[in-house]
């Protein structure tokens, strides 16, 4: 019997709804609906259009139900981390949903750090120190006079759980996405009361934590009636999109995994959290994964966001180019002419990315890349070098070699970047699947249904069901010299 699962994957630039059909030997995944997802600036604040996102979720559910003949076994939702909405006791949305790139956490950085210094927050939560973290935005709200929402809202729900509440009426907080909020306690396996107390965040504001594979509830009857579809259950999958993507990496043994999309999440799986002076120094995050030895140790790198912003700038000048076209221009540009640190805070906010890159290059080189190809090559080579740096730091902290790099997600389709990554790191790169998050999302649903025995069987299923490519490193001696210059130029520890 075929098992049909639905996966909703919300990214920083687009949202997608996938229909998966599992036959017992192969998982067929097809995209049935997609939409653009961009933040909007209002008075120097950034917001997501959560109403439009919800509307597109319903449209995708309806399309998937029709395409499957009304035979959907379950659905799972995942998204980027950190962002949230407030609801009242009736489940009504109380405020707009801010984007994690909103500047409010940076504006109140000094006050937030004064309440609890970053090294202590890292020791207590194991998370990276970043202005995008959920805690930072909640603390900024208190500093800006919006504490009334923290004190009076019924629940704060992270985006996937907010959408799940809209369609099921159930308010929960899934483990993997909760674990990266800077409010989770890996030692006590629950919300970190010391952090919550310091920032005067009521624990009652946060929903109970559930683990991946939990059946949360069924689609509301009235909602199904309005869509003219049968009801089906919603499974709490690995709702942090990176956690879902990591599950789909068809790796055997120790390896590095890069979830390549708007962000590049460079990491590896370990048995349990590692929190020490080096994880703080390198700003490495501990992030919850599927139970078992799938805890994730991750270094966040700015990723394809920089290229997306270059695309946006070109489009505004009536010069739209695809990622493949950008890659071809980059191939024709001179190698190693300019390098940037992709994680420079200047690249975090949207707006005129080519100019920002030129300004940084002028600071470091006294000259600038001028053509689009030169700018894009600068970005791609810099990403590849930063990946190498991140993998070496992970090897140091984990105390083990990571001989292979698996790239999953949309960035795995960028053949030039995959080859540059192999060259820069002098490690073989295995790339795919492109729809990694959907595969990981569905894998957890199939395990919950008893169709798969666990992640290992699921990874073998992904390997058999998707397009996987391999890249062999070239010219390591040339890259070694460039890498040493890159580290020195940007003072990387």
Residue 296: which H helix or E strand, with range? Answer: strand 295-301
Residue 2 is classified by DSSP as P
Full-model pTM? 0.94
Instruction: Name every residue whose Cβ is closer than 8 Å to that of residue 128 and which is 6 or more positions away in sequence.
Output: 122, 283, 284, 285, 298, 299, 300
Residues designated as active site: 241
* Cα separation, 208 vs 212, whole angstroms: 13
Instruction: Name every residue whose Cβ is closer than 8 Å to that of residue 340 and which is 6 or more positions away in sequence.
Output: 347, 357, 360, 361, 364, 378, 379, 382
Rg for the chain, CA atoms, rounded = 22
State the pLDDT at residue 1: 80
State the pLDDT at residue 253: 82
State the pLDDT at residue 293: 83
Copy the structure tokens of residue 78.
């995942």
* Cα separation, 361 vs 176, whole angstroms: 37
Stretches where the chain sits below pLDDT 70 are none
Q: Angle at which helices 455-465 and 436-448 pack, to 10 degrees?
A: 130
State the pLDDT at residue 82: 97
State the pLDDT at residue 134: 98
As a whole number of Å, the end-to-end CA separation of the chain is 54
State the pLDDT at residue 49: 98
State the pLDDT at residue 242: 96
């Amino acid at each position: 019997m075929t098992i049909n699962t639905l996966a909703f994957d919300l990214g920083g630039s687009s949202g997608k709804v996938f229909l998966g059909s599992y036959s017992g030997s192969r998982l067929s995944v097809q995209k049935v609906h997609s939409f653009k997802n961009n933040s909007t600036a209002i008075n120097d604040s950034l917001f997501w259009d959560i109403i439009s996102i919800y509307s597109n979720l319903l449209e995708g559910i309806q399309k998937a139900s029709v395409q499957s003949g009304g035979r959907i076994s379950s659905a799972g939702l995942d998204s980027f981390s950190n962002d949230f909405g407030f609801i009242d006791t009736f489940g009504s949305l109380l405020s707009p949903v801010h984007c994690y790139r909103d500047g409010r956490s940076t504006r109140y950085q000094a006050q937030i750090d004064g309440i609890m210094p970053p090294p202590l927050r890292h020791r207590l939560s194991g998370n990276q120190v970043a202005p995008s973290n959920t805690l930072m935005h909640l603390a900024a709200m208190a500093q800006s006079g919006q504490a009334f929402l923290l004190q009076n809202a019924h629940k704060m729900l992270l985006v996937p759980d907010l959408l799940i509440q809209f369609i099921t009426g159930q308010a929960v907080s899934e483990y993997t996405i909760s674990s990266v909020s800077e409010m989770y306690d890996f030692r006590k396996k629950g919300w970190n009361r010391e952090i919550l107390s310091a920032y005067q965040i009521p624990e009652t504001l946060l929903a109970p934590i559930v683990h991946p594979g939990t059946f949360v509830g069924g689609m509301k009857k009235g909602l199904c009636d309005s869509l003219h579809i049968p009801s089906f259950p919603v499974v709490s999958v690995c709702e942090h999109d990176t956690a879902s993507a990591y599950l789909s990496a068809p790796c055997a043994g120790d390896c590095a995994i890069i979830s390549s999309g708007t962000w590049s999440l460079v990491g590896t799986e370990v048995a349990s959290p590692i929190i020490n002076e080096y994880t703080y120094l390198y700003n490495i995050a501990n992030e919850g994964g599927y139970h078992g030895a799938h805890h994730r140790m991750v270094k966040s790198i700015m990723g394809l966001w920089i290229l997306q912003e270059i695309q946006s700038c070109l489009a505004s000048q009536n010069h739209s180019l695809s990622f493949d076209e950008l890659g071809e221009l980059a191939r024709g540009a001179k190698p190693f002419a300019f390098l940037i640190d992709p994680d420079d805070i200047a690249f975090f906010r949207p707006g005129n990315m080519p100019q920002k890159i030129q300004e940084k290059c002028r600071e470091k080189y006294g000259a600038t890349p001028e053509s689009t190809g030169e700018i894009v090559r600068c970005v791609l080579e810099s990403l590849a070098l930063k990946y190498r740096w991140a993998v070496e730091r992970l090897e140091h902290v984990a105390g083990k070699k990571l001989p292979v790099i698996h790239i999953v997600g949309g960035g795995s389709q960028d053949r030039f970047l995959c080859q540059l990554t192999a060259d820069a790191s002098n490690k073989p790169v295995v790339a795919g699947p492109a729809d990694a998050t959907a595969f990981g999302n569905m894998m957890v649903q199939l395990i919950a249904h008893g169709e798969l025995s666990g992640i290992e069987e699921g990874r073998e299923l992904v390997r058999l069901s998707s397009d996987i490519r391999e890249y062999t490193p070239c010219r390591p001696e040339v890259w070694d010299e460039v890498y040493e210059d890159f580290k020195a130029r940007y003072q990387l520890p």
